[in-house]
Structure 1
Amino acid sequence: MSHLPTGRRLLDALFGTSPAAEPAARRADGAARVPADDVPHARTWMSWPSRRSIWGRRLGGVQQDIALIARTVAAYEPVVLCAPDDYAAAQARAACGPGVTVIDSIPTDDLWMRDTCAVFRRDGHGGLDAVGLNFNGWGRKQSHGDDAEVAPHVAEFTGLGFHWAGFVGEGGSVETDGDGTVMATESSLVNRNRNRGSGRPEIEEAVLRAYGAEKMIWVPGVRGRDITDNHIDVTSRFVRPGVVMVQLPPDDRNDVWARDAREQFAILSAATDARGRRLRVIRVDGPDTVRSRSSAFVDSYLNFHLVNGAVITAQFGDSVKDGAARRALAEAFPGREVVQLDVDRLMEGGGGIHCSTMQQPHP
């Protein structure tokens, strides 16, 4: 391990953060609230991929994509990137440069920090805490001994109170508007590989309690076709309360993912949120062509990461659809620069930019 100061002392030294916060105060219904992604961030958390047992010959290319994302995010807000050991930390520092803070005190198995990191909650009165979603390797599909402990370690590192949620899931499986409404695919949560013995009502109650929300919108999703069992953050995202974006495929596509996207669009177009608002659904068209031939490739513009002042998203070499997606995101998030990255090697691994990042909001 390095001899850098750890935990809150390191964040104080690097970013001038305040003393350790008390656990977030509870609302009358007993829950702090997970804010929407667009609130001001204190930092973004990421993780360095280092295991050839997971990535094989693709590891080097995926590391380059993660370094590109980290450097890009760091131009707008602090980035803390976890590496499992001294050697991996040295690799990450060389690839990411001095603008990214690399630590080796929180070991990880893989790079998908959206799913393994703590989910941060706040109460609006300066209170911030963290909740862990009991990560189990997407239903025990991958080695996750270190990743299962990332959430409490991040909470300890930042000096925040920590709580385990009453369900098994991942950060990418739940989208929140920060105003009482969440949405998710049934396939990724109402699934015996995560929540054996629990039905949808019990899981919904646990999700609402963890996120401090009042209403959950479910879409069926797709089981068993990818490692996540179809996380919603690839296809449908909240823009703001009452407004969602959904990516739709070209009209001539009729595979299982295309049918799922159209079903999500239809369900959300008919849904109302916790405040009784009929959702306004913004359509974003997916690319007609991509550079990759991988069957696991994630061709999602909506797997974006919001940062302070920008939207970080992907491009696929389809100049027409890339440009249309950029304009749609600029209109949806006025005042933010839209930055599009070629991270094809990462997206061949089944996830994207949002999947590899987790924001920590300001209290």
Structure 2
Amino acid sequence: MNDHAVARHAGPGLNRRRFLAAAGLTAAGAAVAAAVQNRADATPAAGVFRVPIEDVRHTRTWMAWPDSTAIWPGRLGGVQADIALIARTIAKYEPVVMCANPGSAAKARSMCGSTVTVISSIPVDDCWMRDTGPVFRTDGYGGLDAVGLNFNGWGDKQTHAKDALVAERIAAHVGVPFTYADLVGEGGAIEQDGAGTLMATRSSLVNRNRNPGVSERQLERAMCAAYGASKVIWFDGVYGQDITDDHVDATSRFLAPGEALVQTPLPSENDAYARDARRQYDTLSASTTAAGREMDVMRLQGPDYNKIRSTNRDFLASYANFYLCNDAVISAQFGDRRADEAARATLNRLYPDRRIEQLNIDRLGTGGGGIHCVTQQQPVA
């Protein structure tokens, strides 16, 4: 679900979550190329629904329980253990609701424990709630609604009959108004600062496998309408080398309006994803926000892939793919002790009032995803 410009890749092809053939490709669910409406209000204001920045208080975190051996052949148990660990850790700080299929709900409850609420009324195909879940919006006056991004299996690369309905079903469960955006995409493909500025990769959204015949300008309007924003900072990204076509949320993140973080590779790394990460840093550094403020961009050093625990060539080692929950930052660690400690120190400086939790989620990482990829926040209205 949704990543990943910082993963080490060895050659061309679909590398992120290389279980695609086992999972089965589908031609169903063609990308929606709906007509895009112009926004009348270019700058978000109080009373306008918009997606807040992720460090706001949350009512709960939404997650999804994987149970497909076709998607995770020989690895399902380990991935389930990592999902349960993430859920239990977040549940120390805020409520967690896990969506599970009826046949696997009992196992989810057993592995997640009593602090996590497991429901079986919203069936799922996989665990990538960031991409399949609703994007919640607030209006500054206690209002809450949700938007769906028309998830289509990352361009019909994976079956998604259940996941395509997750966003709408969660919104109905919560009891909030729901609309579908005028684009096809995923939550991990778009970062927001909550004050009018978005960032995304062209490779993931300006792509005929999601939005055929839709121009970049049309996509900007649709994204801004959905998120309550007025400006998009685009990165070129990397086409066709991972299932997400290079999601932004494993490389670049907003810290605050006008402030961002980019995970940068070691100087010795020069694959397509390393080059893309450096370009993202340069692009952000030369950009301004919707309000015209120059961007303040900091670097987060990625680990040395020769020193991490995993030897899987598709492994995602992204510190930037952290998740903010109430009073905590949930991040990953990969076994490169120096880099892990430096990442913790950086997160401590950025979020001094939050506890930093670093988790070993190596089994999930072999699927090309991280903690942000499997979570979706519901902000306090």
Query: TM-score, with normalisation over the residues of structure 1?
Result: 0.91
- Please give the secondary structure, in 2, of the residue aligned with 1:42: strand
Is the Cα contact below 8 Å between 1:119 and 1:131 reproduced in 2? yes
Q: 2:313 aligns with which of 292, 295, 300?
A: 295
Question: Are 1:261 and 2:277 an aligned pair?
Answer: yes
Q: Which amino acid aligns with 2:68?
A: R
Q: Which amino acid aligns with 1:315?
A: Q
Cα distance in 2 between the residues matched to 1:293 and 1:192: 33
Is the Cα contact below 8 Å between 1:93 and 1:100 reproduced in 2? yes
Q: Which amino acid aligns with 1:345?
A: R
Q: Which amino acid aligns with 2:329?
A: V
- Please give the secondary structure, in 2, of the residue aligned with 1:322: helix
Larger mean CA deviation between 108-117 and 315-324 belongs to: 315-324
Alignment of 1:65-214 (within 5 A): 65-85=82-102, 87-214=103-230
Is the Cα contact below 8 Å between 1:239 and 1:333 reproduced in 2? no
Question: Are 1:312 and 2:368 an aligned pair?
Answer: no
Q: CA deviation at 1:293?
A: 1.6
1:330 maps to 348
Q: 1:47 aligns with which of 61, 64, 83?
A: 64
Q: CA deviation at 1:332?
A: 1.1
Q: CA deviation at 1:95?
A: 0.3
- Please give the secondary structure, in 2, of the residue aligned with 1:95: helix
- Please give the secondary structure, in 2, of the residue aligned with 1:148: helix
Q: 2:54 aligns with which of 24, 27, 37?
A: 37
Q: CA deviation at 1:330?
A: 1.2
Give CA-to-partner distance per residue, 1:191-248, whole Å, 9 cap, x none: 0000001010001110000000011100000011111000000000001111100001
Q: Which amino acid aligns with 2:267?
A: D
- Please give the secondary structure, in 2, of the residue aligned with 1:360: strand
Question: Are 1:272 and 2:288 an aligned pair?
Answer: yes
Q: CA deviation at 1:124?
A: 0.3
Is the Cα contact below 8 Å between 1:180 and 1:213 reproduced in 2? yes
Q: 1:285 aligns with which of 298, 301, 305?
A: 301
Give CA-to-partner distance per residue, 1:70-122, whole Å, 9 cap, x none: 0000000000000011x310010000000000000000000000000000001
Is the Cα contact below 8 Å between 1:49 and 1:63 reproduced in 2? yes
Q: 2:360 aligns with which of 342, 345, 349?
A: 342
Give CA-to-partner distance per residue, 1:31-64, whole Å, 9 cap, x none: 5100010000000000000011111111010000
Give CA-to-partner distance per residue, 1:117-141, whole Å, 9 cap, x none: 0000010000000000000000000
In structure 2, relative to structure 1, the CA distance for the partners of 1:28 and 1:276 (3 Å cut) is closer
Structure 1, unmatched stretches of 5+, are: 1-25
Aligned length: 337
- Please give the secondary structure, in 2, of the residue aligned with 1:301: coil
In structure 2, relative to structure 1, the CA distance for the partners of 1:311 and 1:27 (3 Å cut) is farther
Is the Cα contact below 8 Å between 1:226 and 1:296 reproduced in 2? no
Q: CA deviation at 1:334?
A: 2.1
Q: CA deviation at 1:148?
A: 0.1
1:353 maps to 371
Is the Cα contact below 8 Å between 1:118 and 1:130 reproduced in 2? yes
Q: Which amino acid aligns with 1:295?
A: R
User: Structure 1 or 2: larger helix share?
Assistant: 1
Cα distance in 1 between the residues matched to 2:121 and 2:73: 25
- Please give the secondary structure, in 2, of the residue aligned with 1:244: strand
Cα distance in 1 between the residues matched to 2:346 and 2:365: 21
Give CA-to-partner distance per residue, 1:335-363, whole Å, 9 cap, x none: 01111000011011011000000000010
Q: CA deviation at 1:27?
A: 9.5
Q: CA deviation at 1:275?
A: 1.1
Q: CA deviation at 1:295?
A: 1.9
Cα distance in 1 between the residues matched to 2:53 and 2:207: 26
Flag as ranges the 4+ runs of structure 1 deviating above 2 A: 26-31
In structure 2, relative to structure 1, the CA distance for the partners of 1:27 and 1:39 (3 Å cut) is farther
Cα distance in 2 between the residues matched to 1:348 and 1:235: 17
Structure 2, unmatched stretches of 5+, are: 1-38
Percent identity of paired positions between Structure 1 and Structure 2 = 58
